[in-house]
Copies of this chain bind each other. A is one copy, B any other.
Amino acid sequence: MQCGFAFMEVGLVRTKNTTNILLKSTIDAFVGCLSYWLFGYAIAWSQGNSFVGWNHWAFANLAPEKYSEAFYQMIFTNTAATIVSGAVAERLNLPCYFVYGFLLSGFAYPALSRWGWYDGGWLKLMGFRDFGGSGLVHMFSGTCALVASTIIGPRAGRFDPPREGGPSHGQHIPGHSLPFVGLGALLLIFGFLGFNAASQLSLSKPGDGIIITYATLNTLLGASGGALTALFLNRFLPFWGNYWSYLTMVNGSVAGMAAVCAGCDSLAPWAAVVTGILGGAAFMAGRSMLEKLEVDDPVDGFPIHFCGGLSGLLSAPFLIREGIFFKQDAHSAGFGCSLLGSVVIICWAVIWCYPIFSILKCLGILRVPLEMELAGMDAAKHNELAYPASAWKEESHALLDN
């Protein structure tokens, strides 16, 4: 899954920052692992009260039976940080990745996951239900991405030039390799299938393999619904120029999967398709909004994950098998809980990300200098070009002549 996100981001940046984004995605993962190991697991899953746990720091004295769950949660954790790294791509200063990756993976996300998933978590006790993380993972990450990309500001050239007679929105900066985006997306779909299935394995009792197959099938159907919705909206609505856009379809499929996460254990197949369609439509709406607001999010982290996740979280109480559309009595409180959960998630993300990125900005280390941004970070910082010209040219035979 990490791999999928990483390659979508690689494909979406320009060659001059390719090494940078590769490095950042990987650092995210490794820093997140260590941070989650040291603090996150204890906060999220150990004994404690309904807000926070305070045992098993660094897995100390953790029963080996828990390791499998810990491993799974560790991977999940990285998703949040990775989505943010995409939103601030091509301009964030490298050390900032260590800072926010450490804080988000080690503290902010674990606390949230305790509230919503741990058996005694306060949101879960109130009736909040989010099987695969539409809210707890995707909306949280999407909100963080929005806050971060707003504070850091757009890339040079994205909204700068005076647009006389130009399009009503900004200048699109295309990424350098659509096939890598596609590769990332396909890995991501594969990862989602595994993850939504594993959500069951890890979070509840054995013996319910049927839920796993529900989850897998629904994820695939949600992706299909989201992808085709986004594709057709982009083709037939005038705002985006009436093209068959691959990128839009791919992002729509991810939004559809993000939407379907919330109820993928108990949505009927047709309801998964509907959820995916809602997710795809929400993604298109969110992307247009971002464009109007002149917020530059190179990987569309906010529209995909926040809008997709929100549409799924709010529609799940209606569409799941025991939902409001089918049994008025049983889950009529579910929508209220989802709504409350959404507000909590958004606030929590803002409470963490706004100070982190604001402080880094005040310290003047948030963003790379404009010269470096224009020249690209690969040469100056990493001394490693992603595609070195010397490796692509046929070497002259001069050496032979000597």
Contact = CB atoms under 8 A, between A and B. Distances in A.
Interface stretch (A46-54, A301-309, A311-319, A371-379): A371-379
Given A14-B391, A27-B249, A391-B174, A383 B182 contact: no
Contacts of A165: none
Interface SS majority for chain A: helix
Contact of A67 (B27, B174, B214, B400): B214
A272 to B, nearest CB: 10
Interface string A367-402: 000110011100001111111101110110101100
B71 A243 contact: no
Nearest to A231: B27
Given A3-B190, A186-B3, A210-B64, A273 B217 contact: no
A328 interface: no
A34 interface: yes
A33 interface: yes
A19 to B, nearest CB: 5
Contact of A391 (B59, B176, B394): B176
Contacts of A71: 213, 216-217, 220
Contacts of A31: 224, 228
A352 interface: no
B178 A386 contact: yes
Contacts of A10: 179, 182
Contact of A246 (B241, B270, B382): B382
A368 to B, nearest CB: 12
14 contacts: A13-B391, A15-B391, A34-B221, A34-B228, A59-B268, A64-B210, A67-B213, A68-B213, A71-B216, A174-B388, A174-B391, A176-B387, A241-B383, A245-B383
Interface of A: 2-3, 6-7, 10, 13-16, 18-19, 22-23, 26-27, 29-31, 33-34, 37, 58-59, 64-65, 67-68, 70-71, 74, 94, 156-157, 160, 173-180, 182-183, 185-187, 190, 209-210, 212-214, 216-217, 220-221, 223-225, 227-228, 231, 241, 243-247, 249-250, 253, 268-270, 273, 370-371, 374-376, 381-388, 390-392, 394-395, 397, 399-400
Given A7-B183, A18-B179, A58-B270, 7 more contacts: A6-B182, A27-B231, A67-B213, A68-B216, A176-B392, A179-B386, A244-B382
